[in-house]
Amino acid sequence: MPDAFWQPPSILLAVDLVILTLRSSKLHVLLVERGIEPYKGEHALPGGFLNNVDEGILAAAQRELREEANLDASQLHLEQLGAYGDPGRDPRGRIVSVAYLAIAPGLPEPEAGADAAGASWKPVEEIDSGRLELAFDHRWILADGIERARTKLERSSLATAFCNEPFTIAELQQVYEAVWGVELDPRNFYRKVQGVPGFIIPVGAERRTTKGRPARLFRRGQQTVLHPPLSRPNPLTTSEAN
């Protein structure tokens, strides 16, 4: 029990970014190679400390997005994941990190030529298969970010944040398949996506150059909450797993 002379402890606050995108139909995350100790040379989520005591947490996340990933926060989906503050998560001392989830469309440049050298997109599969290790507790932050994206695809229009406008329905389907890690029937996907009012809007001009029949082009609709939802295929229940 704190007495009259007790003072609350001071803590260092950082932000970390889980930036997801789709590259060649696979879910990727932006990682940086750490230039300083601890974990020097290892891969980590981009992030950093608050600049000063007056900087907002979201503002810090937006700044890091620009500095470390060369991305413009105003064009991206950005939401808070939560605070990660286990004592001992950072060997330098008590550091609490607020993690943010950012969703970016496929970028033209392979990676950002930003301040932080060594930023690169990595397939998330390499991390949760254990082939690629992350510094600190970033593996768990990433897992939480992916899980957040997975569930939000069902009832929100988050999937369109992975796409450059205009996009085709097949591109949108690739988003769902990559994030959920499943295959979807294109025919049913077409019907369902088109049936959600305000999800995607056909842009007058159609077609695009590939092989085969040209696809209609769409842009994001105004609706952010999807009804009916695009439900994820049944996860196995514990009783069904055998």
Partner DNA sequence: AGAATAGTGTCTCTAAGACAGTATCAA
Partner DNA sequence: TTGATACTGTCTTAGAGACACTATTCT
* Binding of DNA by 24 (CB under 7 A): no
- Quick one: which of 25, 38, 75, 83 contacts a second copy (CB under 8 A)? 83
Using CB distances below 5 to 8 A depending on partner kind, what does residue 123 bind out of DNA, a second copy, none?
A: none
* Binding of DNA by 205 (CB under 7 A): no
Rg (CA), the chain: 20
* Binding of DNA by 191 (CB under 7 A): yes
Nearest-angstrom CA–CA distance, 229 and 226: 5
Q: Among 29, 26, 25, which residue's Cα sits nearest to residue 146?
A: 29
- Quick one: which of 91, 195, 201, 219 contacts DNA (CB under 7 A)? 195
* Cβ at position 123, least distance to DNA in Å: 22
Minimum CB distance to DNA smaller for 92 or for 187: 187
Backbone angles phi, psi at 100, to 5 degrees: -125, 150
Minimum CB distance to DNA smaller for 11 or for 203: 203
- Quick one: which of 12, 170, 182, 201 contacts a second copy (CB under 8 A)? 12
Binding residues for DNA restricted to 210-229, rule: CB under 7 A: 210-216, 228-229
**DSSP 8-state class, residue 64:** H
Residue listed under structure tokens 């959600």: 196
Do 184 and 194 form a contact (C-beta atoms < 8 A)? no
Do 65 and 102 form a contact (C-beta atoms < 8 A)? yes
Annotate each residue in 137-176 with x if it binds DNA (CB under 7 A) or - if it does not, as one string.
Answer: -------------------------------xxx------
Backbone angles phi, psi at 218, to 5 degrees: -135, 160
Q: For residue 186, how many C-alpha atoms fall within 13 Å in the half-sphere facing its CB? A: 6
Extended beta strands in 85-179, E state: 95-103, 120-123
* Binding of a second copy by 182 (CB under 8 A): no
Footprint on this chain of a second copy (rule: CB under 8 A): 2, 8-14, 49-57, 80-83, 85-87, 93-94, 96, 98, 197-198, 222-223, 225, 227, 234-235, 237-239
